[in-house]
């Protein structure tokens, strides 16, 4: 009988070619699938909550796979985790209902973007891999006020980079908070799902506002144009991290809503979260 195993994963994305499996390239999905396959002794297809790109990190990535393996979940944590490299780790494993799908069942996700905002480089704090060094002074208050305009159900076409293929560019942002933590400015964006590079383009726009180049109230006008050329530049991948993904296990639809028939080699996530699929 099939079991559905959920993994909570953290990784440093610097030396990965992103999450998604790619032939002859080092990816997070590929390495975990390889480790899980050696433990389960059958083909494993890992479904991830967010398809992060090269250089993007995760503190709380969620993934799942179907298996006929009878090994207890705690032993799976140890067996799979011990076969992973030093820049990726399993935090937790558990067994979830067969109708759980890491991508489609997600109800909220939080991405954090970190800007090191001082003249000295972040290497002095060993943060160069996890933050974007922007040494020009940024006015956090301006950025915080402007960020409120991102909250709500809106068309984010102006924040979607080239390559977006979704049928609709309407997305819901539940919160967009900007705050300073010592020399870092952190931008937390919470939503159900995101467009291609949406968060990084939102950050690039807020940086232009924070440095005084654009007005605080310009975001509604930018969104109204639905034109990517009117928004700010795409912020570098290294500052972005998937912090957590939230689910409501008591409100899952039937398994057939995700895939017609249960199988140990589950189908690829048909609608990957493209927020962190970057082009840099």
Percent of the chain with pLDDT over 70: 89
Residues 113 and 236 in one domain: yes
204 & 92 share domain = no
Q: What is the mean pLDDT of residues 243-255?
A: 84
Q: Is residue 117 part of a domain?
A: yes
On whether residue 9 sits in a domain, the answer given is yes
- Residue 204 belongs to a domain: yes
Using the Cα atoms of residue 39, residue 12, residue 158 and residue 152 in order, give the sign of their dihedral.
positive
* Tens digit of each residue's pLDDT (9 = 90 or more) over 168-195: 999 999 999 999 999 999 999 999 999 9
Q: Kindly report, residue by residue over 89-102, the tens digit of the pLDDT.
A: 999 999 999 999 99
Residue ranges making up the domain that contains 80: 3-105+247-257
Distance between CA 104 and CA 247 in Å, rounded? 10
In a domain, 272, yes or no: no
| 101 and 112 belong to one structural domain | no
Q: Are residues 157 and 95 in the same domain?
A: no
Looking at the structure, do residues 80 and 179 belong to the same domain, yes or no? no
Specify whether 224 is located in the same domain as 141: yes
Tell me: do 87 and 128 sit in the same domain.
no
The answer on 41 and 133 residing in a single domain is no
Inside any domain, residue 268:
no
**Six token digits for residue 61:** 């990535």
Identify whether 173 is part of a domain. yes
How many folded domains does the chain comprise? Answer: 2
Tell me which of 23 and 110 has the higher pLDDT: 110
Same domain (yes/no): 74, 131 = no
pTM of the predicted protein model: 0.89
If asked whether residues 151 and 237 sit together in one domain, one would say yes
CATH number of the domain that residue 19 is part of: 3.30.70.580
**Number of neighbours of residue 12 by Cβ within 10 angstroms:** 18
Q: Which two tokens stand for residue 127?
A: 């943060």
Catalytic residue positions?
A: 53
b/e for 256-267, b at 16 or more Cβ within 10 A? eebbeeeebebe
192 and 175 co-located in one domain: yes
Q: Which CATH number covers residue 221? A: 3.30.70.660
Phi, psi (rounded to 5 degrees) for 239: -85, -5
Based on the domain organization, do 127 and 47 belong to the same domain?
Answer: no
């Amino acid at each position: 009988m099939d079991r559905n195993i959920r993994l909570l994963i953290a990784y440093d994305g610097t030396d990965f070619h992103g999450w998604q499996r790619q032939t002859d390239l080092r990816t997070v999905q590929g390495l975990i699938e390889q480790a899980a396959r050696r433990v389960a002794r059958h083909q494993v297809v890992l479904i991830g909550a967010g398809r992060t790109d090269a250089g993007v990190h995760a503190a709380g990535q969620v993934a799942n796979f179907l298996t006929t393996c009878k090994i207890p979940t705690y032993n799976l944590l140890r067996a799979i985790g011990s076969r992973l490299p030093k820049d990726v780790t399993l935090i937790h494993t558990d067994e979830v209902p067969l109708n759980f799908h890491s991508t489609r069942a997600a109800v909220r996700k939080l991405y954090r973007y970190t800007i090191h905002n001082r003249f000295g480089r972040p290497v002095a704090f060993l943060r160069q891999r996890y933050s974007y060094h922007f040494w020009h002074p940024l006015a956090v208050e301006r950025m915080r006020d402007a960020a409120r305009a991102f909250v709500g159900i809106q068309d984010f076409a102006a924040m979607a980079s080239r390559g977006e293929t979704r049928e609709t560019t309407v997305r819901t942002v539940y919160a967009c908070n900007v705050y300073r933590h010592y020399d870092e400015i952190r931008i937390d964006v919470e939503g159900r799902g995101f467009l291609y590079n949406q968060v990084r383009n939102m950050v690039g726009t807020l940086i232009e506002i924070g440095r005084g180049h654009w007005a605080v109230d310009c975001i509604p006008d930018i969104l109204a144009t639905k034109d990517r050329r009117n928004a700010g530049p795409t912020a570098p991948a290294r500052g972005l991290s998937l912090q957590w993904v939230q689910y409501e296990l008591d409100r899952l639809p039937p398994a057939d809503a995700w895939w017609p028939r249960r199988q140990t080699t589950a189908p690829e996530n048909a609608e990957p979260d493209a927020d962190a699929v970057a082009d840099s």
